[in-house]
Amino acid sequence: MIGAVPFGIIFGTLSGGAGLSAAGTIGMSLFVFAGSAQFIAVGLLGSGTMWPIIVLTTFIVNFRHLLYTATLLEYLKRLPRLWQVVLTFGLTDETFAVAAGRWLQDNGSPYKHWYQLGSMIFMYTNWNLCTLVGLVAGRMLQEIGGWGLDFAMVAAFIGMVIPYLKDKPTYAAVFAAGISALIFHGMPHKLGLIMAAVIGMTAGVSAERLWERH
Amino acid sequence: METLYLVAGMALVTFSIRYGLLPLSGRINISGRMRNALRYVPPVVLTAIIVPAVLYPNGQTFLHVSFNNAYLVGAIATVVIGKLSKNLLITIVCGMACFGLWQWILKMM
């Protein structure tokens, strides 16, 4: 949970330089509430991408959240509709990590949905407060003159990719995605990004099988 | 207006993904293979944004592989710092400092 603090602040800080208004930044944290997709949206906005492409990319990036609902389906199914809507709205990577641990614990506690709601509210508040702090910090830095701030996005993204680099297939996936992104760079509407993502995923999965066999 | 469409679109798409399975309950099956492939999405998409931003800086149309490209030098330094420090904030701050320093050196030369 504390791990989300720098991310929220960094998101708020970078948004201004990418041309996202203060209202847009706050609105994104309030209504979208999805860390990596928000970062990627800001990155794409900074390079002048049109909004339908960003929405499409959000779909691809957040598609993994479907698995979270799938994992908790058995439990969520039994709750009233309003609970389902609220709990799935806040089903981020972090909430899932915390909530799944609790749901899958084999005791008959009838209050598990309250536990998930609690952790969700905590993270939601945290994420939005950090966005505000970052927003203010970012505007102040811009006034000072933005030293190296145009590089901040690249540095932040590199820092976010590194924790994923734990096994060979992930290296293969990232490497393939980087090369493809260069090859397809000239494609209109940043479609090269989506091509690169698909090729990267394929490379990761293929590499897994390759190394498993040996 | 664009911002409104963007935020509304992203919110709608994200909520549909997170909520969508409940009304469809049981009628969709996600294979283990798909499950596994999705794990690669975040690092892959981030990389696909970083690499062109570093090698085609400031909207240039040619591949800029040289020490005169402060973005490239900064990115390499950031990867090394990130690998060693394993701390996001240190990585960002030191990476930005390396980039700024290299830009300053290039200006001096």
Among A31-40, B6-15, B34-43, name the one with the lowest average pLDDT: B34-43
Q: How many CB atoms lie within 10 A of CB A90?
A: 20
Kindly tell me if the per-residue pLDDT of A70 is higher than 90. no
Confirm if A184 and B76 have CB atoms less than 8 A apart. Answer: no
Hey, is the C-beta of A183 within 8 angstroms of any chain B C-beta?
A: no
Is the pLDDT at A147 greater than 60? The verdict is no
Q: Which of A25-29, A112-116, B69-73 has the lowest mean pLDDT?
A: A112-116
Q: Which DSSP state fits A184? A: T
Using CB atoms within 10 A of its CB, is residue A61 exposed (0-12), middle (13-18) or buried (19+)? Answer: buried
Question: Which chain B residues are Cβ-neighbours of A189 within 8 angstroms?
Answer: none
- Model confidence band, residue A1 (pLDDT cutoffs 50, 70, 90): very low
What are the residues whose beta carbons fall under 8 Å from the beta carbon of A42, sequence distance 6 or more? A11, A14, A15, A18, A20, A153
Q: How far apart are CA B83 and CA A198, in angstroms?
A: 26
Supply the pLDDT for residue A169. Answer: 94
Given a cut of 90, whether residue B19 has pLDDT beyond it is yes
Distances from the Cα of A134 to the Cαs of A11, A137, B98, in angstroms? Answer: 7, 5, 22
Residue A97 pLDDT: 77
Spatial separation of the C-alpha atoms in residues B91 and B82, rounded to whole Å: 5
Chain B 34-93, residues with CB within 8 Å of chain A CB atoms: 35-56, 59, 63, 70-71, 74-75, 78-79, 82-83, 86, 88-89, 91-92
* pLDDT tier at B5, thresholds 50, 70, 90: very high
3-state helix, strand, coil in chain A (%, to 5): 80, 0, 20
Q: Is the pLDDT of residue A213 over 80?
A: no
Distance, in Å, from the CA atom of A57 to the CA atom of B14, rounded to the nearest integer, reads: 11
The least confident of A17-26, A60-69, A108-117, B25-34 is B25-34
Average pLDDT in the A174-185 region? 94
The half-sphere exposure of A39 on its side-chain side, counting CA atoms within 13 A, is 29
Q: For the ranges A205-214, B8-17, B21-30, which has the lowest average pLDDT?
A: B21-30
Determine the distance in angstroms separating the CA of B45 from the nearest CA of chain A, rounded to an integer: 5
Which range has highest mean pLDDT (A21-25, A69-73, A95-99)? A21-25
Q: Which of B6, B43, B95 sits opposite A174 (nearest CB)?
A: B43
Rounded CA separation A20/A14 (Å): 9
Highest mean pLDDT among A2-6, A29-33, A106-110: A29-33
Query: A64 and B38 in contact (C-beta within 8 Å)?
Result: yes
In 3D, which of A157, A156, A149, A190 has the Cα closest to residue A174?
A: A157
CA A161 to chain centre: 12
The first and second tokens of residue B106, run together, are 């290039």
Q: Of A14, A53, A178, which is closest to residue B52 (Cα–Cα)?
A: A178
Q: Cα angle vertex B35, ends B34, B36, to 5°?
A: 90
Of B42, B30, B56, nearest in space to A200 by CA = B42
Q: Residue range A28-41: average pLDDT?
A: 92
Mean of the per-residue pLDDT values of chain A: 86
DSSP code per residue over A38-97: HHHHHHHHHTT--HHHHHHHHHHHHTTHHHHHHHHHHHHTTS-HHHHHHHHHT--HHHHH
Q: Tell me what the pLDDT averaged over chain B comes to.
A: 88
> pLDDT, tens digit, for every residue of A88-106?
999 988 788 778 777 777 6
DSSP designation for B83: H
The residue among B1 and A162 whose pLDDT is bigger is A162
Average pLDDT over residues A150-162: 87
- pLDDT band at residue A212 under the 50/70/90 scheme: confident
pLDDT of residue A10 exceeding 80 = yes
Compute the nearest-CA separation of B109 from chain A (Å): 19
Strands (E) located in B8-103: none
CB A88 within 8 A of CB B22: yes
CA atoms within 13 A on the CB side of A149: 21
pLDDT at A51 over 80: yes
When pLDDT is averaged across residues B79-95 and rounded to a whole number, the result is 92
Look at phi and psi of residue A124 and say left if phi exceeds 0, alpha if psi is from -120 to 50, else beta: alpha
CA A17 vs CA A7, A22, A152, A168, B99: distances in Å:
16, 11, 10, 35, 17
Q: Is A133 on the interface with B (CB under 8 A)?
A: no
